[in-house]
Amino acid sequence: MKVLSVTSECAPLVKTGGLADVAGALPAALAPLGIEMRTLLPGYPAVMKAIASGTEVWTGADPVTGTPARLLAAQAAGLDLMVYDAPDHFARDGNIYLGPDGRDWPDNPERYAAFCRVAEGICDGMAGDWRPDLIHCHDWQAALAPYFLDGATPSLLTIHNIAFHGLAPEGKIEAMGLDRADFHREGFEFWGRVSALKAGLLYASKLNTVSETYAAELMRPEFGMGMDGVLRGRAEDLTGILNGIDTAAWDPETDPAITPYKSPKGKAKNKRALQDAMGLPTDAEGPLCVVVSRLTEQKGLDMLADALPALLEGGGQLALLGSGDAHLEHRFHGLAKDRNVAVRIGYDEPLSHRMIAGGDAILVPSRFEPCGLTQLYGLRYGTIPLVALTGGLADTVIPASPAALARKVATGLQFHPVNTDALSLALTRLCDLYAREEIWNQMTRNAMSQPVGWDTSAAAYAAIYKDLVGAA
């Protein structure tokens, strides 16, 4: 079966979040199941650099700008790529979505509409003989492809984060190549604007998101961000499939960024190294907690800042790596004055591995979390996740309830409701559990033996693809 994955980011070539990890991991996970996946990516500078020796399969004019553009077939980082090289849209340095002022590029709607036209074109023979049996689109950036295809090729749209709608003013309808006749409540209109995501939610043959809990949450007003009604209308076509992690890149036994280890005992050296690197004292009695995250409202780190006294009073430490909202960066800089708090603002892949390996616990207090990856890294590295009871965090952590402890199956802690008080209590409980060595070691071993790879989820995607192709 031939599948075209349509995505605006793909690790390791270009990444702003978990979407890239998933898009990067899926092709290899699906190959053993007989699925040949090619990945369509925009020709950002980082991608063009990585595919120096691509083959031109199409040249022509970009549908939005009318300026020269090309489609290249190439291989890089073990991925079979199709790259849409349209310099007017994508030859821009820095964050792929944001201009130098930190705001969305004003022409994002047209850039990604053009990209989706190319996905449609590939289904229509633009890449010669290679035509996909179905397309697998990710998030709003790819969500117009099912609209343009209008059922001609089956499509699956994966929602990685419903918070991003791909909104555009009504005046852009024609520039984006959309049909004004569909600009109404039952079409892609969303409160007077165009929503690329809504078009995808309506036109894709099937929908999924990245955990079962998030799939159920999305149909409720508190989490649906205005799309809950549309999703309730498509409840029969919406499923939840958990993300896996790249178990080769995230393997404590072979990870080149750390002192490798097989059992929880091996974490001690990494903890010491992390404390030294972050300037934290090595005599703390409580757990060293780590955070690797975008610093945004979604991630609940303002609640963590408020709840921090509970961790420090329990003798714990905090090491945080992240970047994002200026006010949160500023707040954590201030908190780092405490000798048991260390903060690194920035994006640093090797340091993220050292943090996950060296921490005793990883904190993920998100207000909503479609799947979440860092708690999965934590499990694999024996770093106990303390998470909010929401989305994929609810589905991947077995909380240390008395029953789970008695049955020796607990892998972490969950708190609910998702607020500062509940988080404070959970941090205190974390410190208590850490002090009970036998229980803590058992939880660490449980965590390390959880399956967090792609096997189950790849099979679930393959089953949807088969359904789609069978029904076409």
**Cα dist from 281 to 209, 273, 284, 310, 322, whole Å:** 42, 11, 7, 18, 21
If we measure between CA atoms, which residue out of 331, 351, 314 comes closest to residue 425? 314
CB of 51 to ligand ADP, least distance (A): 23
The token pair that represents 248 in the structure block: 């080769």
Amino acid identity, position 457? S
Which of 162, 292, 426, 458 binds ligand ADP (CB under 6 A)? It is 292
348 is a contact residue toward ligand ADP (CB under 6 A): yes
- Residue 15 vs 89, nearer CB to ligand ADP: 15
Round to whole Å and give the CA distance between 467 and 472. 9
Q: Are strands 79-85 and 68-76 parallel, antiparallel or unpaired?
A: antiparallel
- Residue 371 vs 400, nearer CB to ligand ADP: 371
Q: Which span (185-193, 291-299, 401-409, 413-421) binds ligand ADP, by CB under 6 A? A: 291-299
Most distant CA pair in the chain: distance in Å?
67
If we measure between CA atoms, which residue out of 77, 384, 374 comes closest to residue 250? 374
- Residue 132 vs 166, nearer CB to ligand ADP: 166
97 is a contact residue toward ligand ADP (CB under 6 A): no
User: Cα 308 vs. chain centroid, distance in angstroms?
Assistant: 26
- Residue 72 vs 371, nearer CB to ligand ADP: 371
Q: Residue 171 has what DSSP assignment? A: G
CB of 313 to ligand ADP, least distance (A): 27
Round to whole Å and give the CA distance between 469 and 381. 38
Binding-site size, ligand ADP (CB under 6 A): 17
293 is a contact residue toward ligand ADP (CB under 6 A): yes
CB of 17 to ligand ADP, least distance (A): 3
Place of tokens 């500062």: 420
Phi, psi of 322 (to 5 degrees): -175, 170
CB of 200 to ligand ADP, least distance (A): 18
Burial of 395 from C-beta contacts in 10 A (0-12 / 13-18 / 19+): middle
CB of 415 to ligand ADP, least distance (A): 18
Phi, psi of 120 (to 5 degrees): -60, -45
Residues 308-347 that bind ligand ADP (CB under 6 A): 321-323, 347
Which position's Cβ is nearest ligand ADP?
A: 18
- Residue 15 vs 38, nearer CB to ligand ADP: 15
CB of 373 to ligand ADP, least distance (A): 4
Ranges of beta strands (E only) in 176-335 are 189-190, 193-195, 206-209, 238-240, 288-295, 317-324
CB of 397 to ligand ADP, least distance (A): 13
List b or e across 81-114, with b for residues whose CB sees 16 or more CB atoms inside 10 angstroms: bbbbbbbbbbebeeebbeeeeeeebebbbbbbbb
The SS3 call for residue 238 is strand
Interface characters, 353-382, with ligand ADP (x: CB under 6 A): ------------------xxxx--------
- Residue 218 vs 310, nearer CB to ligand ADP: 218
441 is a contact residue toward ligand ADP (CB under 6 A): no
Partners of residue 3 on adjacent β-strands: 37, 134
395 is a contact residue toward ligand ADP (CB under 6 A): no
352 is a contact residue toward ligand ADP (CB under 6 A): yes
275 is a contact residue toward ligand ADP (CB under 6 A): no
- Residue 319 vs 321, nearer CB to ligand ADP: 321
Q: Which span (17-25, 36-44, 59-67, 220-228) binds ligand ADP, by CB under 6 A? A: 17-25
CB of 258 to ligand ADP, least distance (A): 14
Residues 19-38 that bind ligand ADP (CB under 6 A): 21
- The set of residues, in sequence order, having a beta carbon less than 8 Å from that of 48 and lying 6+ positions away, is 83, 85, 91
Task: State the residues that interact with ligand ADP by CB under 6 A.
Answer: 17-18, 21, 292-294, 321-323, 347-349, 352, 371-374
